[in-house]
Copies of this chain bind each other. A is one copy, B any other.
Amino acid sequence: MARSSTRPTSRDVAQAAGVSQAAVSLVLGDKWRGRVSETTAERVREAARELGYRPNLAARNLRLGRTRTVLLVVPALTTEFFAGVYTGAARVAARHGFGVVLYPSPEGIGPARDPFASAQAALDGVIASSMAADALTAIRGDQLPLVMLDSDPEGSLGAATVNLDIADGVRQVTEHLLGLGHRHILHLAADVPSWTFEMRARELAARLAAVPGTQIRTAPAPISIEGALAATEAALTATGPRPTAIVCDDDKLAAGAYKALRRLGLRVPDDVSVTGLDDLALATALDPELTTVRLDAELFGERGMEALLAVLEGREPEAGDIPVELVVRGSTAPPRTP
């Protein structure tokens, strides 16, 4: 029996099986075909089982110079959306023998300057959702292979990007509302400095500008129910004609809009139509159920991981945005004719 206080090593297994450490490595690494006899291999496996042997990952990582671990940087964990992204990424990763480590962006967790101070794990690459440019350059400084999710393809410092076709989602929402007859729209905009939100505002404005007689107003709000409530209430009690529809950057914002409308005595969709974006569980918990743009978070995660694997293997990542789909529910209707 070896030292019982410490974890058994491959050398301990070797001694127990009466072979060399190299043989243990070969057998357990599944590289023994034609190099070790079946009986010896079985003896090694038996010894490993007996001792409860687990390879030391730090040693393996050092030896191989790679870790088969990847970091997923997300802006926060507070929505199901990034849970879905993680699930998809982890599924693809597992198929390729990779693990995924999460790093929620440094809001209240240590210094923002160094995204890796808190993620001690040694890494092969990084998948990062839209984040501020300075954090991005910090990551690039680490020379790690990088895939950006939902980021400006032009300005991402040459990193590979995987994007949802949110511009198309905005198009679908706009056409849906215009088709119903809406002409006066309030954009409840996420007050977060990020390419994706700026792009949504631009796209929405451009779509509406193409139709004469339309008006748009923008109300920025932090992404929380309370924040959206306040912003919506302020925007609707302001002077001028009342919007007949509210386009929200996010389902959570839509939930806040619902509350504001209720507080003002307005009904959805009779007085005001509301649309969201994400299609979280929240969307169907609301009454009436929310018309929103469904984003396939898991597919997003899968495509992100596949892109990173491609970069790691020196291949070209698959191009093309991920399609999104408008889900029409009960929160949109034609505007009441005045």
List chain A positions with a Cβ less than 8 A from chain B: 7, 52, 54, 56-59, 61-62, 67-69, 76-80, 82-83, 86-87, 90-91, 93-94, 98-102, 104, 108-110, 117-122, 141-143, 224-225, 252, 255, 258-259, 262, 281-282, 284-287
Nearest Cβ on chain B to A210's Cβ, whole angstroms: 34
17 pairs across A/B with beta carbons < 8 Å?
A7-B143, A52-B143, A54-B142, A57-B120, A57-B122, A58-B62, A58-B67, A59-B62, A67-B120, A68-B120, A77-B83, A83-B104, A90-B109, A93-B118, A101-B119, A258-B285, A282-B285
Nearest Cβ on chain B to A312's Cβ, whole angstroms: 14
Complex A-B, nearest 4 residue pairs according to Cβ-Cβ distance, in ascending order: A77-B83, A58-B61, A99-B120, A121-B121
A90 surroundings in chain B (CB, below 8 A): 104, 109, 118
Given known A-B contacts A54-B142, A87-B104, A143-B7, A109 and B94 have beta carbons under 8 A apart: yes
Residue of B nearest to A284 (CB): B225
Q: Kindly identify which residue among B102, B108, B120 contacts A69, using a CB–CB cutoff of 8 Å.
A: B120
Nearest Cβ on chain B to A54's Cβ, whole angstroms: 6
Check A99–B83 contact: CB distance below 8 A.
Answer: no
Nearest Cβ on chain B to A269's Cβ, whole angstroms: 15
Given known A-B contacts A77-B77, A83-B77, A122 and B284 have beta carbons under 8 A apart: no
Nearest Cβ on chain B to A84's Cβ, whole angstroms: 8
